[in-house]
């Protein structure tokens, strides 16, 4: 769920951290439902006041969720919980240390398939299968991880990865793609 509040000048703003003051309106974290709330003017009814709603509010929320996921990815890297590159990701998966595997949107099907085989092998052995997402671009992963041409990344089990996994799952659910 995403909370929205009436901000300065009665403009509807998303409250992703759920800390802004005032009456809030909750909308399920899906882009189509945010669009529906905008077109039906449901924010004014829920906030019980006249508010101004940006027609591209759904796009703004998508950008904010993406930034939140990238910040969490960067924090995981700084905490030493993330590795990049096909070989390191494969090793992390096969050892059972990976909690999340990220493929860039531009990733080749062959590379995804090969890492998928490692995940399948882990599953066959009864290990904990990592979540998998393909919601970020190579350029975004490069910036967040401080690398060059990052196509695959894996985040290890731990505190920083919990926040990253939640942020990626929320972003994927909002976009209508599922983290597997």
Largest interatomic CA distance in the chain: 58
Q: pLDDT digits over 66-75, tens only?
A: 999 999 999 9
Give the Cα separation of 155 and 153 in Å (integer). 7
Domain covering 62-175, topology: 60s Ribosomal Protein L30; Chain: A; (3.30.1330)
Q: Could you tell me the pLDDT band of residue 178, with boundaries at 50, 70 and 90?
A: confident
Is residue 104 very low, low, confident or very high in pLDDT (cuts 50, 70, 90)? very high
Where are the chain's structural domains? 2-55, 62-175
> For 10, which DSSP code?
G
| HSE, side-chain direction, 13 A CA sphere, residue 87 | 0
- The whole-number pLDDT of residue 8 equals 85
DSSP 73-107: HHHHHHTT-EEESHHHHHHHHHTT-EEEEEEETT-
Average pLDDT over residues 13-30: 93
Percent of the chain at pLDDT > 90 equals 87
User: Is pLDDT at 168 greater than 90 in this prediction?
Assistant: yes
Quote the pTM value.
0.89
pLDDT of residue 76: 95
């Amino acid at each position: 769920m995403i909370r929205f509040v009436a901000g300065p000048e009665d403009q509807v703003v998303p409250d992703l951290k759920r800390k802004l003051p005032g009456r809030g309106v909750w909308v399920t974290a899906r882009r189509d439902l945010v669009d529906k709330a905008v077109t039906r003017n449901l924010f004014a009814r829920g906030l019980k006041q006249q508010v101004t709603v940006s027609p591209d509010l759904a796009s703004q929320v998508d950008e904010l969720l993406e930034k939140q996921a990238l910040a969490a990815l960067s924090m995981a890297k700084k905490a030493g919980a993330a590795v990049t590159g096909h070989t390191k990701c494969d090793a992390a998966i096969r050892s059972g240390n990976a909690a999340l595997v990220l493929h860039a949107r531009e990733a080749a099907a062959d590379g995804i398939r090969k890492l998928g085989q490692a995940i399948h092998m882990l599953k066959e052995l009864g290990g904990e299968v990592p979540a998998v997402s393909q919601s970020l671009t190579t350029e975004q992963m490069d910036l967040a991880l401080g690398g060059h041409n990052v196509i695959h990344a894996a985040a290890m089990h731990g505190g920083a990865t919990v926040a990253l996994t939640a942020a990626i799952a929320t972003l994927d659910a909002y976009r209508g793609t599922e983290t597997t």
